A and B are shown apart, each in its own frame.
Chain A
Amino acid sequence: MSFVPGQPVTAVVQRIEIQKLREGENLILGFSIGGGIDQDPGQNPFSEDKSDKGIYVTRITPGGPAEVAGLRIGDKIMQVNGWDMTMVTHDQARKKLTKKREDVVRLLITRKSLEEAVKHSKGSHPRQ
């Protein structure tokens, strides 16, 4: 998923909808994120392109809402409820995910296996 600055990027994305779990006062998604434009992308173990400053899923609570919804470790989050996550700071991403008013979070994610699946299916370009 490397990209050339200035050029449009295409990626195969999957839509994942996570219903937040209410635990006391907190709404829980059950995963953790890493990355962001303020982080060192070189330390991201999940990105193929080590200059990718995107937001990645780093951990998932077993049995938690994220796992139930099909999110996986290493997924790159492209959007959260329509908000771009490819050029945001870590904290911006966190805030977008943890809005108290929202019980549902719709993610657009991409992962390597998706790309490959698409390649195998003869160049049809599934969009979301």
Chain B
Amino acid sequence: MPAEVKQEQSPSNATSLAMMQEPQEVVEETVTIEEDPGTPTSHVSVVTSDDGTTRRTETKDMSTNVKVTKMVKTVTTRTVRQVPLGPDGLPLPEGSSPLSSYTDSIDRRYMKNGGERFITPQATSTLTRAYNNSYNDSYVETPESQYIRHYGLHEGYADLTDNYGSLSRGVNFRPPRYPYMPNSYRPENSYTLPIRKDDYGHVAQPQVPMGSSTVDLNRSQPERFQPEPYGLEDDRRSLGPEEEEPYELEPDYSTASRRTLPGTNRGRTHREPLRDVHRVRGYPDDPIEAELIDERHPYIHGMYSAPLAQPERGSMASLDRMAGRRSPSIDSIRKDPRWRDPDLPEVIAMLGHPIDPVKSNAAAYLQHLCYENDKIKKDVRQLKGIPVLVSLLDHPKSEVHRKACGALRNISYGKDNENKVAIKNCDGIPALIRLLRKTNDMEVRELITGTLWNLSSYEPLKMVIINHGLQTMTNEVIIPHSGWEHEPNEDSKPRDAEWTTVFKNTSGCLRNVSSDGAEARRRLRECDGLVDALLHALQSAVGKKDMDNKSVENCVCIMRNLSYHVHKEVPGAERFQDPSALQAPGSAGPQRKKKDDAGCFGGKKAKEEWFNQGRKNGENDKNYDTLDLPKRTEPSKGFELLYQPEVVRLYLSLLTESQNYNTLEAAAGALQNLSAGQWTWSNYIRATVRKEKGLPILVELLRSDSDKVVRAVAIALRNLSIDRRNKDLIGSYAMRDLVSNLPSGQQRPAKNLEEDTVVAILNTIHEIVTDSSENARSLIQAQAIEKLVAINRTSQSARETKAASHVLQTVWSYKELRNALTKDGWNKSHFQPTVTATPKATKNGKPGYDDTTLPLMEKNQDGYSTIDQRDKDCKYKTDDGSADLTEREPLKNDTNRKHYIRSNRPAVSLVDACDVKPQPVDSWV
């Protein structure tokens, strides 16, 4: 009968399309900037169909973690002119007054030294405005000026609140801190200083005409960065327990940078813009002045926060927030019409500005503009901004390459693959990899790897990434963060893996590229140290019982993908083939590798034969328990580790402990892949799963709420039952759980599993009852016949109908059972294929196919490639929703299939939200 195919999960499809990620972009509107990779990014998982014969499901999580940074604060580009503003409406922000006095004195001091030189008070951003104000003070020391100052600030903020969802968030975010503002005055904070000094040389260049675009740029940028002044440290210090709230926000809104900041150069970079402004204004290169400036910074912090502190805006603010999306134009509209933001071509032109800070500010501004704005991303591409940004990656100044990288990360995120291609076309991938090798700055590394993760979600770029970056990513990130050491030092304890953002991003990138077919798998398997490091990381995760995070998920998915078709693709695999399997025409030798992915139908046939052969060899399974594992003279390493029976325990631990559905699915998929195939190692794996008491663990997971977990487990059980003893055990102990997953007629059970899952379960049942009347008896005792008949008669799905029909026919073929069946009221007609079944079934199959001998899975592969299917594939239920949401996108390895999809469906639909998004999550609180 048909279906006996083992399916392996193939990695291939798994790619996730990056496109879907949009959801991911986390909106962090809060002030800051980058999206956190940490936040649930969007993951797209893709299900691909596999190569020829197998069907694999892959979950890819594509999450590209995109970190998009959003610089929220941008808004303020407004300058305060010497203000005609009346004191009228100016309610001073509560916090500001004390600050102002501070500022005054300082500024004043400042003025004494350099005040006279202060030429252009007008153009400044809000941030700057603060500065300016101080200037003004000294300039005109009148009460009005103070007013004005405040007003300016206040106003700017108000704008923010009104327009920006994100901003307002920012507002909320800060209030708690505000009371502490004065505390924040810390000389250390003036990180800006050094930079400024560096740049001083440039200061002299007054090239920036007032009102010119550059000025504008500067003006607006500082805003964005404002958040930084609130460096985490400051807050922490001063905040009482209650005030911690803002911190807690972090996970949600925080930007990556914020998180990272505490470590390294916190915030310094971000502040740069401020400095720039001043510089531009033409501060003299005067050490004394520099010092003064330095001192002022702390106050500036205060200034900033003061306006923010408007807790009262509370409820309405949130409403306003809904308004939502920042659009740069609005920012400027609200502002003084005399000043405008630079337009996109101007910003791009500024990327080539001779002054480095201008470059970095322009890049940062681009990053902000691109955040969640596909239109602008596209415009940047069309205006040829991408090559310029890429060229800035090699810039020696960290500020510049950091910002450029941030902009590229945002640009690379999203469904528009053209942006990714544009980055690749100007050699952006090697440039990113170069920078990764060069920099030790964690933030930059996060940005680089986040960008690569984004890029890796687009199929055609996967191989490029492998070619340029595989070994570098492995050596620079994976190995060091995994804790694995090439030459373990006897004395030292083995190190644990560190789940850093960089590791998460890099493993996500590798996860994506690992799905790019046989060649990609070969490259990854043969990449020095990669498999060893991943295994070490996973073992450390198991040891620490920390198995639910994204990094673990990524690692398991890579392992799963690399385990796919090991029995055909690994060098020397033929030595381990069962002789009978080797003779199967078309069965897979390594030479067949490439074709596997390409020809789904050719592969299937081979697979089926191979499967049948496996069945014939089933008798041998009896020996497995006594089989010795192959003797090894030296510890295995590299790809050999993938299929050593030792990994079984690792996967079983993950299956036992992890709460992450994607991880569960991947671990079950890895066992599925390893237990497929008819080579020595899969025999060992099948026996080892049993000996390690893995069968009950798998059976238990049949009760999982997650559709894809159930599916992966069901298919794994099917492959495991090639082993005769496994088959007996599974028949005895798993039948009820398998059956309970089946729908009864048109009524779906509570779980409401997808068609694919139901079909997978039916095929597993079929496998188990084949050649085992005992198991068929168990099936009958599990009350399955009623369900099977109902599916056979009434299911809307041709695939389900057909799969159920095969099971029924097999059951009926056991003459010794017919008596019992008849007693239960069944007769032969119930076990016949329904009239409609055949036509229904052939719908999916290729013409000319012999339905009865084809593995069901295979025939239905087309189903996997369809979008609808995909849609169905995303069903997740998780307590914690976002983190586990995976979106799957079917990718096919098969190029033809891809074309098929592309040509037949509007590209848009691929990324349509409905397709991509997981089913709604519902959380009790």
For the complex, what is the distance from the CA of A128 to the CA of B923, rounded to whole Å? 27
Contact A59 B925 (CB under 8 A): no
CA distance A35 to B321 in the complex (A): 17
- B165 to chain A: closest residue by CB: A87
Measured in the bound complex, the distance between the Cα atoms of B23 and A79 in whole Å is 21
B314 at the interface (CB under 8 A from A): yes
Closest 3 CB pairs of A and B: A40-B917, A91-B882, A5-B325
Given A13-B319, A39-B921, A78-B318, A89 and B40 touching (CB < 8 A)?
yes
Assess whether B325 is in contact with A94, with CB atoms less than 8 Å apart: no
| Chain B minimum-CB-distance residue to A84 | B318
Contact of A8 among B320, B325, B327 (CB under 8 A): B320
Which residue in B42, B330, B925 is a CB contact (below 8 Å) of A38?
B42
Per the 8 Å Cβ criterion, residues 867-925 of B in contact with A are 880-883, 885, 913-914, 917-925
1/0 contact trace for A29-61 toward B, CB 8 Å?
101111111111111100000000010001100
User: Contact between B168 and A95 (Cβ–Cβ < 8 Å)?
Assistant: no
Contact A127 B315 (CB under 8 A): yes
Is A79 a contact partner of B165 (Cβ separation < 8 A)?
no
Is the Cβ of B29 less than 8 Å from the Cβ of A87? yes
Q: Which of B23, B163, B248, B914 contacts A42 (CB 8 A)?
A: B914
Q: Is the CB–CB distance between B914 and A9 below 8 Å?
A: no
Q: Identify the closest chain B residue to A57 (Cβ).
A: B925
B322 within 8 A of A: yes
A76 nearest CB across to chain B (Å):
10
Residue in B closest to A79 when the chains form the complex, CB atoms: B318
Q: Give the interface of B toward A (CB within 8 A).
A: 23-24, 26-27, 29, 39-40, 42, 162-163, 165-166, 168-169, 172, 248-249, 251-253, 311, 314-327, 330, 880-883, 885, 913-914, 917-925
A10 within 8 A of B: yes
Residue of A nearest to B333 (CB): A6
Is the pair B913, A42 in contact by a Cβ cutoff of 8 Å?
yes
A69 to chain B, nearest CB (A): 13
In the complex, which range does the number of interface residues on chain A fall in?
35 or more
- Kindly state the separation between the CA atoms of A84 and B824 in the bound complex, as whole angstroms: 61
- Chain A, 6-38, contact with B by CB distance < 8 Å: what is the 0/1 string? 111111010100000000000011011111111
Nearest CB of chain A from residue B551's CB, rounded to whole Å: 17
Chain B residue with Cβ nearest A87: B165
- Closest partner residue, chain A, to B171 (CB atom): A84
What is A's interface to B at a CB cutoff of 8 Å? 3-11, 13, 15, 28-29, 31-44, 54, 58-59, 78-79, 82-92, 94-99, 108, 127-128
A residues in contact with B318, CB < 8 Å: 78-79, 84-86, 108
Kindly list chain B residues whose C-beta atoms are within 8 Å of the C-beta of A108: 315, 318
A120 to chain B, nearest CB (A): 21
Nearest residue (CB) in A for B919 is: A43
Chain B residue nearest in CB terms to A108 = B315
Could you give 13 example pairs across A and B, Cβ below 8 Å? A3-B322, A6-B323, A10-B319, A29-B925, A31-B924, A38-B26, A39-B917, A41-B913, A82-B311, A84-B317, A86-B322, A91-B882, A96-B252
Asked whether, in the complex, the Cβ of B321 is within 8 Å of the Cβ of A95, the reply is: no
CB–CB A9/B881 < 8 A: no
On whether A90 and B923 interact (CB within 8 A), knowing A6-B327, A38-B42, A78-B315, the answer reads: yes
A32 touches B323 (CB 8 A): no
Structural contact, B252 and A88, CB atoms closer than 8 A: yes
Q: How far is the CB of A90 from chain B (nearest CB, A)?
A: 4
Q: Which residues of A have CB within 8 Å of B920?
A: 34-35, 39-40, 43-44
Q: How far is the CB of B100 from chain A (nearest CB, A)?
A: 27
Most chain B CB inside 10 Å of its own CB: which residue of A36, A42, A84, A88: A84
A86–B921 Cα gap in the complex (Å)? 16
The complex places the Cα of A89 from the Cα of B325 at a distance, in Å, of: 15
Do residues B169 and A87 form an inter-chain contact, with CB atoms below 8 A? yes
Do A86 and B321 form a contact, CB below 8 Å, given A6-B327, A8-B162, A40-B919? yes
The distance in angstroms between the C-alpha atoms of A54 and B318, with both chains bound, is 12
B222 CB to nearest chain A CB (Å):
23
Question: Which residues from chain A contact B26 at a C-beta distance below 8 Å?
Answer: 37-38, 89
Is A6 a contact of B324 with CB atoms below 8 Å? yes
A85 CB, nearest partner CB in chain B, Å = 8
Q: A3-B324, A9-B319, A89-B39 are in contact. Are A83 and B249 (CB under 8 A)?
A: yes
> Are A98 and B925 within 8 A (Cβ)?
yes
Across the two chains, which residue of chain B brings its CB closest to A89? B882
CB distance from B882 to the nearest CB of A (A): 4
A103→B922 CA distance, assembly (Å) = 22
Closest to B175 in A: A82
Contact A79 B315 (CB under 8 A): yes
CB pair B172–A9 under 8 Å, yes or no, is no
